Each structure stands twice: as C-alpha cells, then as structure tokens.
Amino acid sequence: MEHVQLTDCINIFPKYDWSSVINQLTNTWKNLDIQSVTLSKIFGGFSPDELFHLTLNDKDYVLRMFNPEREATFCRQFIQISNWASDNKFGPEIYLADEQSRFLIMEKLEGSHLRLNDFDSDSLLIEMGHALSKIHAATPPDDIGSNSLFTEGIRWYQSIGHKSQKMPAVMNEAYQMWLSLHDKVDCPDVIQTMQHGDFSQKNMFMKEGSIVLVDWEFACYADPRREIARVCLWFGLEGDRRHIFLSSYYGREPSEQELYEIAILECMINLGLCWRIFSIRIFASLSKSAWDELYEKTEPLSLRDFALDHTRPDQKEITTAKIQSYAVGHLKYFLQMSKDLSL
C-alpha cells in the first residue's frame, strides 16, 4: 500500500475512529497541517489489529489501530504495558495513545527486526539473556493478567477439550504424562514475573546496542521458567549456545536442577501448543479417525520446527492442513520427549 493522506483513511478503513485520531493529533502537535500527514499499511503478523507507517512533520512513527471488536480491557492493558515497556527501555517510545479511540502511536525503530540466524552470534545470545533477565526482574505494572500463551492450552483442554469425541486416541495418554511432568516442576515458591509472552526475533530490534521488543500483546505475569524454556526451544539453543544464553540470563552457571526443569517445560510447551491449535476450532473439520490417521503419518514437530518454517524467506500462506499437521506433530513430539524425561 502506498502512502495516502490520513484524512482519506476515513473512507479507506471505515471501521476505525479516524476523526478522533485526527483531533488528538492536532491537539498534540500544534500548528500541524493535517493534510500533510500520510500513512501506509504495514503487512505481516497474526494480530487482528492493524499497523501503519505514519509520517508526521517529516518524522516516521508506527500507528496501531486496535480492532473494534477488541474488548476495552485489552486496549487499556496493552497501552499500559506498552508505556511500562517504554519507560523501562524495553520497548519503543510511546508518543500518544487513547483507549477510547483505540489507537497508539509509537516510535518507528530503525532497520528491520532481527532474524533467527542472527542468534548464531555469541554476543547476541548474551544480550538476549540480559534483556530477558531485566524484563523478569522489573516491577510489573498494576493489574496484569496471569493468563498467557503458556496456560491457554491446558486451561482449554481441562475445561472443554477433554470432553470432545474427536480428539486423537493418544491424547488422554499425553494428558496423563503432562500431569506427571507438571508435578516435577510445580513449585509454589517460584516468584511470578512480568513476561513479554512472545519473546522471538520477529519482535526484536536493536537500539543503541540493546534489544528492544515490540508487540507486547501476550505480555503477562507468570512463571519465568516457562519463558526461559520457550526461548530455548524457539531458538534451538543446545550445547554451548544454551549455556551462553542461560549464563547471561542468570548471571552465573545454571544449576543441574534448573537445566532439568527447563527441559521438562520445553517438552510441556509443545503439548500446550497442540491444545492451543485444537482450541481455535482446527480440530472441528476432522473426525477422530481422521486425526488418528494424520497422527500416524506425521513426523514429530517441535516449536523450533514451527519457528524455522514460519521464518523461511519463501514462506507461503499457512494452510489449515499445515496447522493440523503441526497440532499432531507437537503432540507426537511431546509424547516422544516426555518418555525420555520420565525415566
């Protein structure tokens, strides 16, 4: 999409409250010629919100327009967390936001987001460890929810999913194994911390030598070990690379117990992903026998496989069939790995 005048967006994107955006811009930037303000849509991502490249007084910004179907509490919390991240230098600077008009204007970071292969660099692994540690150590904003990508899957399965007659035959076995692993890492004394929730290279930029994170949509207050495990899994951190990252995060050598707990949580995350996919109605299009057949012919797939597939330069649109294969692939990977961990 080419740059268009902001005033034309009333007709191009009629679902948004552009009049309120224009009023707030003119009130904030004095003597602003609103006819000179232009924007173009930024494509990519899975969020129902839309991002725009906004040019105002010859300076570039990012404008986020919240989907009108979003609950007001989401908009309020997203703005609150974004301001918190900005104040703590974890995220881009926030210039203007309004939960009633459902928009946010933030700094446009230079360059492009980081790539998976950038993390072949030891120095970037060290910086990633520092960045995650600082987020977890920071005092969180008020009234942050505890639900997250880490818990959505199990909450769905325990409340709704287990009742379905369409689940693959091995799902109950997987759930019993998940409960066994959960007992090994369940620790009421673990201090909950603030978390980004989607700590991956696609949300990372470099600013003044430090990692800055965008898109705090899945930020939550939760067990920090889960986010550490997800990062290890997503980036495929094994051997020396895992040691470099974890030593940077902890500021010391990780203990054997910490390494064991992270390995268990990595395994559990894959079944959680399987449940999340089932929860978005993907399972409804197949019968139980069809799921069982797909399970038998699908190779085990981890979150790392998804990361590699999702970030390929030649990536094509992700089809329903592809998502279904990920669901059973994650299930198969979990069962394979959980048996080793239970020994």
Instruction: Specify burial of residue 285 (Cβ count, 10 A radius: 0-12, 13-18, 19+).
Output: exposed
Same structural domain, 91 and 137: no
Same structural domain, 173 and 314: yes
Quick one: which of 192, 280, 258, 268 has its CA closest to 230?
268
Same structural domain, 46 and 173: no
Q: Which residue, 57, 76, 107, sits at the end of a domain?
A: 107
Same structural domain, 69 and 192: no
Q: Which residue, 60, 82, 107, sits at the end of a domain?
A: 107
Quick one: which of 207, 216, 199, 204 has its CA closest to 133?
199
Helical H segments across the chain, by residue range:
9-12, 18-28, 72-87, 122-137, 152-159, 171-185, 224-234, 239-250, 256-279, 288-297, 303-310, 320-341
Q: For the domain that residue 47 is a member of, what is the CATH number?
A: 3.30.200.20
Same structural domain, 84 and 170: no
Residue type for position 106: M
CA distance 119 to 139: 28
Residue pair 211/138 in contact (Cβ under 8 Å)? The answer is: no
Output the DSSP codes for 248-267: HHHTSPPPHHHHHHHHHHHH
CA distance 179 to 329: 20
Both tokens of 126, joined, read 């060290």
Same structural domain, 98 and 120: no
Same structural domain, 150 and 247: yes
Residue pair 162/325 in contact (Cβ under 8 Å)? The answer is: no
Distances (CA, A) of 322 to 134, 138, 311, 317: 36, 38, 15, 9
Residue 135, helix vs strand vs coil: helix
DSSP state of 16: S
The owner of tokens 């990372």 is 204
pLDDT for 47: 81
Domain range for 27: 4-107
Give the number of residues written for the chain. 343
Q: Which residue, 107, 137, 172, sits at the end of a domain?
A: 107
Helical H segments across 212-285, by residue range:
224-234, 239-250, 256-279
Half-sphere exposure of 9 (CA within 13 A, CB side): 28
**Domains held by the chain: number:** 2
Same structural domain, 85 and 174: no
- What is the model's pTM? 0.91
**Residue segments in the chain with a per-residue pLDDT below the cut of 50:** none
Same structural domain, 196 and 322: yes
Q: How far apart are the two ends of the chain, measured CA to CA in Å?
A: 55
Residues 6+ positions from 132 with CB-CB distance below 8 Å: 196, 199, 227, 228, 231, 249
Same structural domain, 164 and 53: no
Same structural domain, 100 and 186: no
pLDDT for 128: 97
Q: For the domain that residue 229 is a member of, what is the CATH number?
A: 3.90.1200.10
Same structural domain, 146 and 239: yes
